[in-house]
Amino acid sequence: MTEELKKGLEGVLVAESSLSFIDGDAGELVYRGYTIDDLAKNATFEEVVYLLWHGELPTADELSDFKSSMAKERHLDDGVQRLVRDLAEADEEPMAALRTIISDLSAYDPDTDADPTDEAANLRKGRRITAKIPTALAAFSRIRNGNDPVEPHENLDHASNFLYMLNDEEPDDVLAETFDMALVLHADHGLNASTFSAMVTSSTLADLHAAVTSAVGALSGSLHGGANQDVMQALLELDESGKEPIGWVEDRLESGDRVPGFGHRVYNVKDPRAKILSAESEALGEAAGTPHWHEYSVSIEEYLGEEKGLAPNVDFYSASTYYQMGIPVDVYTPIFAMSRVGGWIAHVLEQYDDNRLIRPRARYVGPKDGTVTPIENR
């Protein structure tokens, strides 16, 4: 009997998880029993990370302690700072830089020699990795633009501190709340490619830094995290063309190009995160006097929905949201990593807790019955 081939592991169950649930037909996303709408409106990124790592939302005291412990880990060691500067001055691509930086963090981590499955040590490592990514990313972005890095601000929350370090000024409440919400929306999403990469790596009993480095590598591709950057570049192309959105889409499709930000491997309807970010993008545009970005997006969404039956994913509206916040386009995917690291670490902790080496098989379709010809006769 020939076993059914499932390319891309589509529809294959490989694990049980208590972290997040997706109903692709209903357009629902749940973290540990809480809907994404509820969390986006009523919980901060730090609360969501605590929920993912510890299984329940924190009390006020637990949240205060967690935020304080995260804030204390934001500083980069001198060696990491030198690496960030070297990568920025070499004009390295941001996701490649982030991948290298996270791997380097291992050399300075006090728990680097801990058993890979030591949960307490992994929670400490997780706090350090999660806290240091924004510092490294903001410093990298500033240095390549000829500016000095900005030291982290211990009294600001995770989202506000990143914007502060990126722009050298504290964000207003609207920007801070919008960015925090975006981080909440991206924190976890089932066994996506980057999360599964982290799980595969950790299943070998490699350490947490190795697992997160693997995840960053997977996220960098245009079919995963890189899509949000592609969306904004497409919207900028539309804006520069002077065409109406529908005509621009028709021209793009006729030339064989796809419109990024549409379709999803799991959702058969509109991504619930896209619904939330669409409203945020509209509000930002109205406040900044740049409503055209949201108007472009809505026109494209309506046309592709009616004509092609396609629905937008989270990348389609996160792109214009970030752009209106003044975030450089090629930093969008690293920001995705800045959020998703919370989910990666939670899944790695779950993998370690009930580990089995992940080792699928492939159906061999190559040649058979070969014999080696002596090298002088080849």
Give the type of residue at 66.
F
The answer to whether 189 is a known catalytic residue is no
The beta strands (E) that lie in the chain are given as 20-23, 28-31, 34-35
Q: For residues 14 and 213, what is the distance between their CA atoms, to the nearest angstrom? A: 21
**Within 13 Å, how many C-alpha atoms sit on residue 9's CB side?**
13
Q: Which residues pair with 23 in a beta bridge?
A: 28
Tallying the residues shown for the chain, one arrives at 378
- How far apart (Å, rounded) are the C-alpha atoms in residues 337 and 359? 26
The catalytically annotated residue of 104, 180, 207, 315 is 315
315 catalytic per annotation? yes
By CB atoms closer than 10 A (0-12, 13-18, 19+), residue 266 is: middle
- C-alpha 254, offset from chain centre: 31
Q: In Å, how far are 18, 120, 206, 267, 376 from 214, measured between CA atoms?
A: 22, 22, 11, 25, 42
Find residue 20's DSSP bridge partners.
31
Which of 158, 186, 264, 294 is catalytic? The answer is: 264
| Amino acid code (one letter) for 214 | S
Report DSSP letters for 106-122, one per residue: GGG-TTTTS-TT-HHHH
Selecting among 189, 224, 294, 347, the annotated active-site residue is 224
Q: Which strand (E) or helix (H) includes residue 359?
A: none
Active site residues: 224, 264, 315
